[in-house]
A and B are shown apart, each in its own frame.
Chain A
Amino acid sequence: MLKTVVSEIAKRIVVIVFVITGTFLLVRAAPGDPASFIAGEAASGDPEYIDYLRQQMGLDRSLPVQLGYYFRNLASLDFGQSYREGRPVFDMIAERLPNTLILAGAAFILALVMGTTAGFVAAVHRGRWIDRCISIGSVLFFSSPYYWVALLAILLFSGKLGWLPSHGTQTIGAGYTGIAAILDYLHHLVMPAMASALFTMAIYARLVRASMIDTANALFVKAAHARGMAPSRLWFRHVLRTSLLPITTMAGVQAGQLVAGTILTETVFAWPGIGRLMYDALGSRDYNVVIGVFIVTSVIVILANLLVDILYRFVDPRTRAA
């Protein structure tokens, strides 16, 4: 067991090295001079900055040496400077990361709970009207760009109804403290989290439904039925439990996409996380920031997947024994 955990961790380290090397090569292969590319909008006006970049990237050395520099910098959490803000990229990311993690985490829990429930209900009542409603709902959510749904939600819930705040993490000028500040934060979190969760929720609902219907047809369910189990026991103890296992890995992959997807929701709701940071940096072509956010996001996703895989191995007796 320990051996598999270690080998899983080793695998993820390889992937992280791959991502960083890939990013490095992409930037080096960019059209034109990498330094002026990274400098972005500063390229024309600030030769001093470009020189600084050249030095930092070691552009006068060979490619492997440059890669070595790159890894050394990243290992010491040096993601370079943001030209626009004149601050280290890592600091900018670090101060916004908690917001993103809270948003993604909330969205993930929402998606998981609502998606699984919807899929479960649909599977139990398959072929009936409630199944159809859930199926139609999940197709619609799956098919709609969620930043668009977010915009419509703002229009409705903050514009028309005035129930929910449309942007930011706190009511400006309200000066809440303590519990009130937390409640205010949560109030702001509702719409972004819902909007981020919709797409993933639709996918979970479909997966859970399909997997449960598959399991429900298995012989062991019929055998349990023939032993006189009540339907509720059949569905919960036999079907749901067994079919959630294969979904776990899919859930991990989707969770990763969800983190990346917060770029859109953070943009719409002006949520001060790393997604919004990336959006702003794209607008001003502040590429050190863009690359930094990309690497951090990738690492988070890879770690989330690692967690899910290890969890899976603990939960499924068949892999646990192997």
Chain B
Amino acid sequence: MAGPVLEVRDLFVSLRREVPIVDNVTFSVEAGKTVCLVGESGSGKSMIANAVVGLLPGTRLAITGGDIRFRGTSLPELGPKAMRDLRGRRISMIFQDPTSALNPVRRIRTQFDEVFSAHGVEPETGREARMRQLLELAHLPNPRRILDAYPFELSGGQRQRVMISMAMALNPDLLIADEPTTALDVTTQAQVLQLIEELKENFGTAVLFITHDFGVVAEIADDVVVLRHGRIVEQGPLEGVLKNPRNDYTRTLIAAVPHWHPRSGALDSDPLISARSLRKVFKGRFVALDDVSIDLLPGETLGIVGESGSGKSTFAKCLIGLEEPDDGELVVDGTDIMQLALPQRRRRRHLMQMVFQDPTAALNPRHTIGRTLMDVVRVNGCPRAAANDKVLSLLDDVKLDRKFADRFPHELSGGQRQRVCIARALAANPRVLIADEALSALDVSVQKQMLKLFEDLKKKRDLTIVFITHDLRVAAEICDSIVVMRGGKTLARGTPKDVLETDRHRYVEELLAAIPGQDWFSTGSAPSQLPTLEIAGQDNTHACQDSRLPPG
């Protein structure tokens, strides 16, 4: 069939028929191609996806202009019955969070089977065989066990593969993937991206892929549509956009992909805090920390890197006292505080403060910024008369306007909230700042500024920073030393240069290989040590020339 699978023309989606959330968007997706919609929160990228499948949330959002054509048929004009026939059969969708996208109390088999029964399709080989075949295509070992399982018995990556298998069950012409890898670990992400790519090849499906990460874009896109505030700021073939971005905003997004500059040169002094053989077991079963020993030198930035379940957050919690280790020593300023009574322990730990992942959850919604800071300033011994000035100077320190003191958290943006959280941590006069994935809830363009803020504060206040992250590249760029954790153990430690280049552990190798978009954004991995742009371009053209199965 000729012509694009999906054509979106001059699309407007508006709130209460007034405020446009999607503003005059035009693009098309051809069979066997991947188009990436890229943008940060509020860019309207998910709205476009929802509009295509006809599932705009709530009753106040509506398509107010333009057209969406699927194989030449206008979707907004289709009746609910006809639309239902398309959904799942010819247009499929997968979501960001595979955990909540599966019904928690029904077996995978029942939910999978429903795809066939809802559309009245009987696969030639029978449903059971077809389901197993699809799960096998998604590289799920032992499909029968998967079918018998309930969602909570599977891992996040497995659930997303199941979702993808279900989406591909009826050979759809179009697959819409709404941030399908954002909730996954980097190694799982690489596998899922590869799976989508494979299935696209095998089935000749058109893919509309939504993401905020230019690394992912570089990995899988044929065409790129960059969105901001509901408008297209730039669109075109991947190569053109990456090589010669015409728009400043696109440049910011591309620059937000962390660079590859592993630092070298270690500090050398007596540790400020020294954790020795820490052990923590949850519910008597899950070993979160297994004999972990880490030294923190004064004035350094220590990166603790790992995937989910590696124990990196548990370690931070044990340091600061949100959890108590079951075993081991925690030496602060030369004293093992695990020997002390709880109140003394708490006082010793006071030199550490924490910045959390989600700044929205970390601020009391009923307190103004001023009050939040004031409370901390006051309990840390600042006299009443000087407290107000102190609050204002804290706002200055994190580069927030002083007028924010009278605002409530919901009036601030995510980045501004995270600045407030940093100010609150500073209000307790810490010597150590622990940042637990402090950037991952923020938009990519804000992450850069936040890194710079950490850097400035560190210099200005002589801070020691513990930086907990899943992103090796970020850690390599800003940390003096790195600890890589996996399954509650430390696997590698040393300067970024040592850990990531000179003396690479096999797991580090795996992590690096999994980073998406390596052809464009170097990670020092073996194949892309050379200047890469041309090679990557050829790679892509090569991929596009692949012969395809007829759709459907």
Contact = CB atoms under 8 A, between A and B. Distances in A.
Interface of A: 218-220, 222-230, 233, 237-238, 241-242, 245, 316-318, 321
Given A219-B97, A220-B100, A242-B104, A225 B55 contact: yes
Interface stretch (B69-77, B85-93, B472-480): B85-93
Contacts of A228: 84-89, 115, 118-119
10 contacts: A218-B100, A220-B102, A223-B101, A227-B114, A228-B87, A228-B89, A229-B114, A241-B106, A321-B152, A321-B153
B147 to A, nearest CB: 14
Given A237-B114, A317-B105, A226 B88 contact: yes
B115 A227 contact: yes
B205 to A, nearest CB: 15
B85 A318 contact: no
Nearest to A223: B101
B53 interface: yes
A225 B111 CA distance: 12
A316 B452 CA distance: 49
B163 interface: yes
Contact of B105 (A224, A226, A227, A316): A316
Contact of B114 (A224, A241, A245, A316): A224
Contacts, number: 77
Nearest to A243: B105
A223 B450 CA distance: 35
Given A220-B103, A316-B105, A317-B105, A227 B87 contact: yes
B150 interface: yes
Contact of A227 (B88, B97, B104, B150): B88
Contacts of B57: 222
B118 A318 contact: no
B166 interface: yes
A227 B119 CA distance: 9
A42 B276 CA distance: 77
Q: Closest 3 interchain pairs by CB?
A: A228-B88, A227-B88, A228-B87
A230 B104 contact: no
A238 B151 CA distance: 14
B95 interface: yes
Given A220-B102, A222-B55, A227-B118, 6 more contacts: A223-B163, A225-B87, A233-B114, A238-B106, A316-B105, A317-B107
B114 A318 contact: no
B450 to A, nearest CB: 29
A229 B106 CA distance: 15
B75 to A, nearest CB: 13
A318 B95 contact: no
Contacts of A225: 55, 87
Nearest to A315: B105
- The prevalent SS among residues of A at the interface is helix
A282 B466 CA distance: 71
B108 to A, nearest CB: 11
B387 to A, nearest CB: 43
Contact of A220 (B53, B55, B104, B153): B104
A322 B153 CA distance: 11
A220 B101 contact: yes
Nearest to B110: A237
Contacts of B88: 226-229
A241 B92 CA distance: 25
Q: Which of A218, A228, A237 has the most CB of B within 10 A?
A: A228
A298 to B, nearest CB: 32
A245 B111 CA distance: 18
A220 B53 CA distance: 15
Interface string B104-135: 11110001001100110000000000000000
Nearest to B90: A228
A289 B151 CA distance: 53
Contacts of B87: 225-228
B84 A230 contact: yes
A40 B107 CA distance: 61
A219 B101 contact: yes
A223 B153 contact: no
B280 to A, nearest CB: 22
Nearest to B81: A230
A245 B152 CA distance: 16
Given A223-B95, A227-B118, A242 B100 contact: no
A318 B105 contact: yes
Contacts of A222: 55, 57, 95, 101
Contacts of B92: 226-227
Contacts of A321: 150, 152-153
Given A237-B114, A318-B150, A321-B150, A224 B103 contact: yes
A322 B111 CA distance: 22
A241 B105 contact: yes
A230 B100 contact: no
A56 B157 CA distance: 69
